[in-house]
Chain A
Amino acid sequence: MNRMKVITLMTVALLAGVSTGTACAQENRKIPIFDTGINPNSWVTVAKGDFFKGQHKKETAVNYDYEIMVTPVTNAQYAEYLNSASAKGTITTKDNKVFGFYPGDKFHKYKHEFEIKAGDKLHMALDAQGLAIEARDGKFAVKSGWENHPVVQVTWFGAKAYCDSKGGRIPTEIEWEKAARGTDTRAYPWGNEITSAHANLYASKDPFEKGFGKQGTTTPVGFYNGRSYNGFQTKDARSPYGLYDMAGNVWQWSGDVFPKTHYRWMRGGSKSNYDFELRVYNKNSAGPDFHEIDIGFRCAKNK
């Protein structure tokens, strides 16, 4: 009998210890507000030239200069775009979902390939969990405190439409990787070592993990810039070209449309991943209509 009591108590203690219930949606809870001092509207130029691509460091040529955003697109930027695009009629909202036209991809009928036909495609589901953008009185607005966080729950179609509207494009994998790595062979944008002070990754104990579990939430763009936030000291985790959040926080869509597959590739790793996923050459993938709480994007354009 006593043994049963001990086992029961231990089980209850174990269950209580691992319980981290989410009574209230993340985006509706109060979160710490920090000004990182990084302007999300800024772009940098990546000069043409070779770089070492991938894990095996293949010398790869990029024969043109291009510009790329210093940070991922924020909630504030995307909400502003939605209002603008809605006014112009390039997007429509139906059943709490945002749609826009996409001309479709060439279909090769390859194994596991899905056909992407021309038509209206999902850009953003406004009822998606973790989305900090909402439609309020016919306008799109950001929930308080989330303005400078990267936009998430945006599909590849939605990311492309945003970048198109800015006269740019989603960076290709090569453009993204060169901007992250520079011209040497480093594994992370800042070098070869990674700590929880470098990036928003799984169980990194950043101020946004308190109350949200090890997965935490996104951090404001440019958060890891060497500043201290309420005692949480970050390191300056810029890439050689001065880009922030090229490792961790949110996966970022890349713009390539490869033949024989409908998948779009993502780079950078996210707040939900361990450190090895944050290496500059690591990839994730999903269909272009997929959206998730840890997927965002940034844009590039020709110089």
Chain B
Amino acid sequence: MNTWANRRDYLFRSTKGLIALAIALIALITAVWGTLSGPMAEWGVRDITIRILGMDIHPEQREGRIIMLYHVIAMAVVAIETYMITSTVRMSKEEQGNINGLVTIGYLLTMFFGLGFAYFGHNYAFHGLFILGQSLLFFAGCLLAKVLWPWNKSTYLEKGSPYAKTPKGIDLERVAFFTMTVATLGSACFGAVTGSFWGNGHETFLAEDLIRLPHKTPLQLSIIGHLHIMLTLVAVAITLLVGRWLDFKGIWHKISMPLMIFGSITITLGVWTVVPYQNLAHTIIYVGAVFTMTAALMLVIFGWKKLISERLAEQGITKANVFQGIRALVHDPLKFGPLWQMVFMNFTVSGVGIFMAIKLDKIFRIWPGREERITLTGHWHILAALIATIIILYYADMCGLKGKARQWFGWVVIIGSDIAFASITIFSMKRGFVSTYDQQPLVDWTMIFADFGLGAIMVVLAMLLLWRIYDFMNEKGAWQQESGELQLDRITAEKKDSVETEEVVR
């Protein structure tokens, strides 16, 4: 009996257990719901899924279903990032427990009742619980913002700290986390307030369906801003978390954090400005994006240097040539991967987005609206999926993957995702270099490569999760040791140890 209680505590109270549960649920949903569209629908798998699960799907509800599915997955990702924040940023056990508990109940309510409402009959009690779940997440966010308050003197950094701080000692990384959290809460309101007008001036729509309308209502603009800024802030959060994971510090950290704070504020205000001043908003957003991306570049430079120097030191090489340096850099795919994905993002997300902005009227708006829509949705989905791969790589590292398993898992995720996202980018931009008439072979090729890449990731993730389930069934499994671990890594503890406070998690 105690064993099962321990298992429950692991899944619902330990950081690694909570993250594992959320990743497993997202993976399951992705695998099942992925059969409802694209090639899976072509092959008839969609019909089988609908029949077996007893889904109740009406064509006119497609947009609403998709929006709820986005929220279901997004809330679970927000939960994962919150678990990571509460376990790597200094706060008391009580605060961590309160926030994690609210987030967990919130995303589970959102997930089960959101999917229940969207795909299994429109039971409005389920819709209410879906909203309640998100409300709890919002409340947890408010608590997190309070806990992260960076002007609490007990969180100040000591003189000589290698981390970014003000002359008074204010921890600028904490300010960055705080800024991101507050910006997320404010941006969530843009969706929530608009949602409250549903049926009373607001109607369900997908943003990509409005792209060519000369006039959009304030509620529509609000939603367009909401979805863009939420994903951007999820990306900012994961960048900060990767920094924690790799113990980002020193001069690069000191340059990066102010840029990230300023960039997060600017980009958020820019997106909020979309509603009253749409034309001006884009300029502000571009400025903010330059700062946040430069901050991320600092992390990449720091991280790559660190990976190389640590590996070379392990090998006892004091003067390495270029090839030795590259080998050292890619030695550990789980740590190289997240940084590489941030670089790769520039080709498949930022690059595409900037190119679209520059050539919108000359290229993309000459195409049929449907093709422009594919490019838009393509590069945003890729950003979301890139963030997911970074989380997966981080989780694999948490699990303590070693040896060949570590190498295979890391490289399959990196190469599989990059093949898939490059293929999807080519697919989404196909109109630029092949006519509709000639596009079928290209469509077939890119779909095969995209499915192959994504399928490979799903397979290795499934193997990792199966291993974790097997371990979970074993009374003396690794989960037993992980149960009591509220912190994610040694680095956090070291950093925290530099500040004396009774409330700090030790």
**Contacts A20-B444, A187-B60 known; A285 to B212 CB distance under 8 Å?**
yes
Interface size band for B: 35 or more
How far, in whole Å, are A85 and B152 apart by their CA atoms in the complex?
Answer: 81
A294 surroundings in chain B (CB, below 8 A) = 436
Contact partner of B366 (CB less than 8 A), chosen from A56, A213, A287, is A287
A102 surroundings in chain B (CB, below 8 A) = none
Instruction: Check B59–A56 contact: CB distance below 8 A.
Output: no
Instruction: Check B441–A213 contact: CB distance below 8 A.
Output: yes
B444 surroundings in chain A (CB, below 8 A) = 18, 20, 213-214
Contact partner of A292 (CB less than 8 A), chosen from B60, B63, B436, B438, is B436
How far, in whole Å, are A261 and B210 apart by their CA atoms in the complex?
Answer: 13
B452 surroundings in chain A (CB, below 8 A) = 14
Contact partner of B369 (CB less than 8 A), chosen from A258, A260, A286, is A286
Instruction: Check B441–A112 contact: CB distance below 8 A.
Output: no
B441 surroundings in chain A (CB, below 8 A) = 18-22, 213
How far, in whole Å, are A202 and B37 apart by their CA atoms in the complex?
Answer: 12
B33 lies within 8 A of chain A by Cβ: no
How far, in whole Å, are A1 and B115 apart by their CA atoms in the complex?
Answer: 49
Dominant secondary structure at the A interface: loop
**Contacts A213-B444, A285-B368 known; A272 to B59 CB distance under 8 Å?**
no
How far, in whole Å, are A258 and B212 apart by their CA atoms in the complex?
Answer: 12
Contact partner of B59 (CB less than 8 A), chosen from A263, A273, A276, is A276
A192 lies within 8 A of chain B by Cβ: yes
Smallest CB separation, A113 vs chain B (Å): 7
How far, in whole Å, are A297 and B370 apart by their CA atoms in the complex?
Answer: 18
Instruction: Check B440–A213 contact: CB distance below 8 A.
Output: yes
Instruction: Check B436–A187 contact: CB distance below 8 A.
Output: no
Instruction: Check B368–A194 contact: CB distance below 8 A.
Output: no
B60 surroundings in chain A (CB, below 8 A) = 55, 57, 185, 187, 192, 279
Chain B residue with minimal CB distance to A202?
Answer: B42
Q: List the interface of chain A (C-beta within 8 A of B).
A: 14, 17-22, 26, 55-57, 110-114, 129-130, 185, 187-188, 192, 194, 202-203, 212-215, 251, 258-261, 263, 266, 272-277, 279, 283-287, 290, 292-295
How far, in whole Å, are A272 and B439 apart by their CA atoms in the complex?
Answer: 10
Smallest CB separation, B213 vs chain A (Å): 8
How far, in whole Å, are A147 and B73 apart by their CA atoms in the complex?
Answer: 50
B502 lies within 8 A of chain A by Cβ: no
A214 surroundings in chain B (CB, below 8 A) = 42, 440, 443-444
**Contacts A187-B60, A276-B59 known; A284 to B369 CB distance under 8 Å?**
yes
Within 8 A of A (CB), among B46-93: 58-60, 62-63
How far, in whole Å, are A83 and B445 apart by their CA atoms in the complex?
Answer: 42
Chain A residue with minimal CB distance to B62?
Answer: A276
A251 surroundings in chain B (CB, below 8 A) = 368
Smallest CB separation, B376 vs chain A (Å): 14
A293 surroundings in chain B (CB, below 8 A) = 435-437
B59 surroundings in chain A (CB, below 8 A) = 187-188, 192, 194, 275-276, 279
B402 surroundings in chain A (CB, below 8 A) = none
Instruction: Check A272–B215 contact: CB distance below 8 A.
Output: no
Chain A residue with minimal CB distance to B47?
Answer: A195
Chain A residue with minimal CB distance to B448?
Answer: A18
How far, in whole Å, are A281 and B247 apart by their CA atoms in the complex?
Answer: 53
Give me the 5 closest cross-chain CB pairs, A-B, nearest first. A213-B440, A187-B59, A129-B437, A285-B369, A260-B214
B305 surroundings in chain A (CB, below 8 A) = none
Q: What's the A-B contact tally at a CB cutoff of 8 Å?
A: 104
B310 lies within 8 A of chain A by Cβ: no
How far, in whole Å, are A192 and B204 apart by their CA atoms in the complex?
Answer: 19
Smallest CB separation, A11 vs chain B (Å): 11
Within 8 A of A (CB), among B435-492: 435-441, 443-445, 448, 452
Chain B residue with minimal CB distance to A113?
Answer: B214
B228 lies within 8 A of chain A by Cβ: no
Instruction: Check A203–B368 contact: CB distance below 8 A.
Output: no
How far, in whole Å, are A111 and B282 apart by their CA atoms in the complex?
Answer: 13
How far, in whole Å, are A215 and B74 apart by their CA atoms in the complex?
Answer: 33
B124 lies within 8 A of chain A by Cβ: no
Within 8 A of A (CB), among B196-231: 203-204, 209, 212-215
Instruction: Check B436–A261 contact: CB distance below 8 A.
Output: no
How far, in whole Å, are A259 and B215 apart by their CA atoms in the complex?
Answer: 10
Add 5 more A-B contacts to A129-B438, A258-B214, A285-B369 (CB < 8 A).
A55-B203, A129-B437, A187-B60, A215-B440, A263-B212
B318 lies within 8 A of chain A by Cβ: no
B354 lies within 8 A of chain A by Cβ: no
Contact partner of B367 (CB less than 8 A), chosen from A114, A188, A286, is A286
How far, in whole Å, are A215 and B436 apart by their CA atoms in the complex?
Answer: 9
- 12 CB contacts below 8 A, A to B, read A111-B214, A185-B60, A213-B440, A260-B214, A263-B369, A274-B41, A275-B59, A276-B59, A276-B62, A284-B370, A285-B368, A290-B368
B321 lies within 8 A of chain A by Cβ: no
Chain B, residues 337-362, CB within 8 Å of chain A (1/0): the string is 00000000000000000000000110
Instruction: Check A292–B440 contact: CB distance below 8 A.
Output: no
B365 lies within 8 A of chain A by Cβ: yes
Within 8 A of A (CB), among B79-132: none
Chain A residue with minimal CB distance to B59?
Answer: A187
B315 lies within 8 A of chain A by Cβ: no
Instruction: Check B436–A18 contact: CB distance below 8 A.
Output: no
Instruction: Check A261–B212 contact: CB distance below 8 A.
Output: yes
Instruction: Check B370–A14 contact: CB distance below 8 A.
Output: no
Within 8 A of A (CB), among B280-335: none
How far, in whole Å, are A285 and B214 apart by their CA atoms in the complex?
Answer: 13
B2 lies within 8 A of chain A by Cβ: no
Instruction: Check A203–B42 contact: CB distance below 8 A.
Output: yes
Smallest CB separation, A237 vs chain B (Å): 15
